[in-house]
C-alpha cells in the first residue's frame, strides 16, 4: 500500500463529498415541480393568425349550417 498523507485523504474526502452533494442537488432540482420555483411562469400563448384558407372553411361551414337550418 502506498503511503498517503493526511492532506491527500482530506482532499479525496472533499472531492467525494462534493460529488455526492452535487448529485443530491441535481436529483432534487429535477424532482421539484417547476411551478413552485419563484420567477418561473408559463409563457402565454399567442393567438394564431387566421389564414385565408381557414377563413374560407369557416365561412363555408357557416353557410352550410344556415342552409341546413333553413331547409331542416
CA distance 42 to 39: 10
pLDDT of 39 reads: 64
> Digits of tens for pLDDT over the chain (72 positions)?
577 899 999 999 999 999 999 999 988 888 876 655 666 667 777 777 778 888 899 999 998 888 887 655
At 38, is the secondary structure helix, strand, or coil?
coil
- Return the pLDDT at 13: 94
Amino acid at each position: 500500500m502506498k503511503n498517503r498523507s493526511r492532506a491527500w485523504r482530506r482532499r479525496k474526502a472533499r472531492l467525494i463529498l462534493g460529488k455526492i452533494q452535487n448529485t443530491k442537488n441535481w436529483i432534487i432540482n429535477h424532482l421539484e415541480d417547476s411551478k413552485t420555483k419563484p420567477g418561473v411562469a408559463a409563457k402565454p400563448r399567442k393567438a394564431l393568425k387566421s389564414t385565408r384558407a381557414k377563413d374560407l372553411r369557416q365561412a363555408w361551414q357557416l353557410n352550410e349550417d344556415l342552409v341546413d337550418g333553413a331547409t331542416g
